[in-house]
Chains A and B, each alone.
Chain A
Amino acid sequence: MSLIDHYQAVLIFLLVGVAMVVSPLVMLRLVRPNKPIAAKSIAYECGMDPVGDAQVCFDLRFYTDALIFVVFEVEAVFMFPWAKVYRAFAAEGMSGFALAEGAIFVGILALGLVYVWAKGDIDWVKSLSSPRGVVRREGVVPAVPELEPALPEPEPELEPEPAARPAAPTADERHHAAHASHH
């Protein structure tokens, strides 16, 4: 008795679906125009040339969300058997017992949610509302990077020797130099 006997229809359905999806992709390749030029293969950024790769590291909050999701999803999966046998328990007059068990489980689930909620892990704008964000604002790690001072520092009286400069001057130093030459 194989799996195929049971889910023959699903298998046929899937195969038809795959065929319907893949065939226009493959067969019409023969009739489609194919005139690649360099400009066509630039990622679309509204006319600007893209800077760097897009496959970069991204915000850790997505990861936290995924972790919370996995925890709750596992708990939800455990509820499915409960839902399946609930009617059978109710038929034997044990619905109170089944309901209490379910309620305890859901209660633990809800407690986890409350914990995550109170920790601020489900607040998307974290730096403004979570305790950790407050610490950040108090100066351990600045949540918003400090802005550079708009005006250059008062210049030193003596211009340093050009030879003493590093090979690649930083933007700040170049700014200083430009300012000095203006004088």
Chain B
Amino acid sequence: MTALLAAGIAVTTALAAPPAAAEPAWLMLIKVLVAFGITMTIVPLLVLAERRVSAWMQYRVGPNRVGIGGSLQPMADLVKMLFKEELRPDGVPPFLFGAAPAIAAICSLSMMAVVPFGGTLELDGRSIPLVVADADIGVLAVLALSSIGVYGITLGGWASNSKYSLLGGLRSSAQMISYELSLGIALLGVLVVSGSFESGSFRLSEIIRFQAESGAWNVLRLPLGFALFTIAVFAETNRLPFDLPEAEPELVGGYHTEYSSMRFGLFFLGEYAAMVAGSSVIVCLFLGGWHCPWLATEAVVGPGGALVQVAVFLAKVLAFLFFFIHVRWTLPRLRYDQLMKFGWTWLLPLSLLNLLWAGAHAALGWF
């Protein structure tokens, strides 16, 4: 549904408005490669960090043999995945079985397209917004991609022709749509309180600029919304305590039980890329994005300022990813009925309440 809305807005704005100062294709390509480069650097680091931090929290060593202190372990995993045999169970539709992990991975990778890494870089008389696509639909694209990503997991679970996979896929679809609702409504609160005074905006860059100019991050305006959004992101990325779709003790591997080789690798990549994208979106919406008080707070900066802003942004994202890992080893997994009950009877009413709070906040003109 959000995907439809986002597509509609994209089409209407494109038909109604002239394009923004068009960038040369080479610049666009550089930005795309940098954005992918950042994601594909964080993901292996995150995999390694997850294993090392898990080990540290459980008082064991963790992977430490490949490279210095285990630093090359993700590379070793990748090589292993690339050269493993691909298995496919009997009675499986080959196209759906192969397409499912690709859908999951592409959707979570593409979310980074609308996330700004910094403000606008002023270089050689050319102003370059540090975001791949400063699209009008902005955050809606993130919502849309995350709801299309559900297809990957559900299809993968159904197409595997295995009972564990089917259960995992079903659980995942029910869980993700239930929490997506709270995600969207918690997001509405952000749109109401931030943006320029004349009109709200779906652009992440304007939401960040608003926070930077007012000097107060949205987490101060909407503490409840921040908590709700974070919980919903945990559920959307299938992380503990919401990892029911792949609960190992009950479902072997859940929706990816039957997947091997690079197809499994894509599910894996998609999950971690979704974590990176989710953290980035939370940082942009609630934690001020590239804004850090006293450090390069202007929206338009030179190269030095841009570096500082990107560094601040990445530091926030990495800190939030550490929070993801920490929660994994802090909270136990919910039971399925508890999960659904929590989503519908706590998260949804509270997010409606948060929306009204945001409305009152904007109406009374507090900071």
Is A66 engaged at the interface, CB distance under 8 Å to the other chain? yes
Which of B45-53, B311-319, B336-344 is the contact stretch?
Answer: B336-344
Which of A7-15, A131-139, A164-172 is the contact stretch?
Answer: A7-15
- B163 lies within 8 A of A69 (CB): no
Chain B residue contacts of A17, Cβ below 8 A? 36, 105-106, 109-110
Q: What is the 8 Å Cβ interface bit string for chain B, positions 247-276, against chain A (1 contact, 0 not)?
A: 000001000011001110110000000000
Closest B residue, CB atoms, query A18: B106
Chain B residue contacts of A84, Cβ below 8 A? 191, 199-202
Interfacial residues of chain B within 53-93, with CB under 8 A of chain A in the complex: 82-91
Q: A80 contacts which of B5, B166, B173 (Cβ < 8 Å)?
A: B5
Q: A53 contacts which of B105, B140, B161, B165 (Cβ < 8 Å)?
A: B161
- B89 lies within 8 A of A43 (CB): yes
- A122 lies within 8 A of B177 (CB): no
Is A182 engaged at the interface, CB distance under 8 Å to the other chain? no
Interfacial residues of chain B within 83-125, with CB under 8 A of chain A in the complex: 83-91, 98, 102, 105-106, 109-110, 112-114
- B102 lies within 8 A of A85 (CB): no
Interface residues on chain B, size class: 35 or more
Is A50 engaged at the interface, CB distance under 8 Å to the other chain? yes
Q: What is the 8 Å Cβ interface bit string for chain A, positions 101-124, against chain B (1 contact, 0 not)?
A: 011001001100100010000111
Interfacial residues of chain A within 12-40, with CB under 8 A of chain B in the complex: 12-14, 16-18, 20-22, 24-25, 28-29, 31-36, 40
Chain B residue contacts of A177, Cβ below 8 A? none
Is B242 engaged at the interface, CB distance under 8 Å to the other chain? no
- A32 lies within 8 A of B14 (CB): no
Q: Known contacts being A43-B160, A65-B174, A77-B5, is A88 close to B14, with CB within 8 Å?
A: no
- A43 lies within 8 A of B90 (CB): yes
Chain B residue contacts of A124, Cβ below 8 A? 336-337, 340-341
- Expressed in whole angstroms, the minimum distance between the Cβ of A61 and any Cβ of chain B is 8
- With the chains together, A98 CA to B362 CA distance in Å? 11
Chain A residue contacts of B15, Cβ below 8 A? 1, 3
Chain B residue contacts of A25, Cβ below 8 A? 98, 102, 262-263, 266
Q: Known contacts being A3-B11, A7-B135, is A76 close to B185, with CB within 8 Å?
A: yes
Is A141 engaged at the interface, CB distance under 8 Å to the other chain? no
Is A163 engaged at the interface, CB distance under 8 Å to the other chain? no
Chain A binding site: helix, strand, loop or mixed by DSSP? helix
Is B308 engaged at the interface, CB distance under 8 Å to the other chain? no
Is A45 engaged at the interface, CB distance under 8 Å to the other chain? yes
Q: A7 contacts which of B10, B31, B112 (Cβ < 8 Å)?
A: B10
- A62 lies within 8 A of B174 (CB): yes
Chain B binding site: helix, strand, loop or mixed by DSSP? helix
- With the chains together, A51 CA to B165 CA distance in Å? 15
Q: A77 contacts which of B1, B98, B109, B252 (Cβ < 8 Å)?
A: B1
Which of B225-233, B280-288, B290-298, B345-353 is the contact stretch?
Answer: B345-353
- Expressed in whole angstroms, the minimum distance between the Cβ of A155 and any Cβ of chain B is 40
- With the chains together, A76 CA to B93 CA distance in Å? 35
Chain B residue contacts of A32, Cβ below 8 A? 82-86, 261
- A77 lies within 8 A of B2 (CB): yes
Q: What is the 8 Å Cβ interface bit string for chain B, positions 182-208, against chain A (1 contact, 0 not)?
A: 001100100110011111111000000
Closest A residue, CB atoms, query B35: A13
Q: A10 contacts which of B23, B113, B201, B344 (Cβ < 8 Å)?
A: B113
Q: B10 contacts which of A3, A99, A103 (Cβ < 8 Å)?
A: A3
Chain B residue contacts of A70, Cβ below 8 A? 1
Chain B residue contacts of A68, Cβ below 8 A? 344
Ordered by A's residue number, 14 sampled pairs between the chains whose C-beta atoms are within 8 Å are A10-B132, A14-B110, A28-B83, A33-B83, A43-B258, A56-B166, A77-B5, A86-B192, A87-B362, A95-B363, A102-B355, A102-B356, A113-B344, A124-B341
Question: 4 tightest A-B contacts by CB?
Answer: A124-B337, A95-B363, A43-B162, A83-B191
Given contacts A6-B13, A65-B177, 6 further A-B contacts (CB under 8 A): A34-B86, A41-B87, A46-B252, A72-B348, A84-B200, A87-B195
